[in-house]
Amino acid sequence: MANPAWLRRMFVVFHLVLGIVILYFAGTTALRDGSGNMHVRLLAGVEAVGAVLFLLPQTVRTGAWILLLTIVVAFAFHASLGEWRGDLLVYAAGVALVAAHGPTYGGTRQS
């Protein structure tokens, strides 16, 4: 059986890495999307806001809902172009996992 303290630390690392990676890619897309498509930039901007909220203990679940919504929209868009984006499914699964457990740092748990 895993040490609960170690498991908690690894969950915090997972949460932070996931949020930072999503924020980085969303921010990069929102600021420098090569296609110049304003819809893509707007979606990426909303995703970046969701990622920031996801990283804050008080707003983890709000951020998670925003991220899940933007990921579903992005997945549907890519699917309509015949593109398989399995990475988006992995992001969605990770976001859902963190949302289900709530924040494990910062001293505040959302219910």
Least confident of 9-13, 38-42, 91-95: 38-42
Max Cα-Cα span within the chain: 51
pLDDT at 81 over 60: yes
Residue 107 to residue 88: CA distance in whole angstroms: 30
Could you identify the residue written with the tokens 């890619």?
25
3-state secondary structure of 36: coil
Please report where in the chains the tokens 């709000």 appear, as a residue.
62
Q: Where residue 38 falls among pLDDT bands split at 50, 70, 90?
A: confident
Output the pLDDT for position 110: 46
Look at 82 and 104; give whichever has higher pLDDT: 82
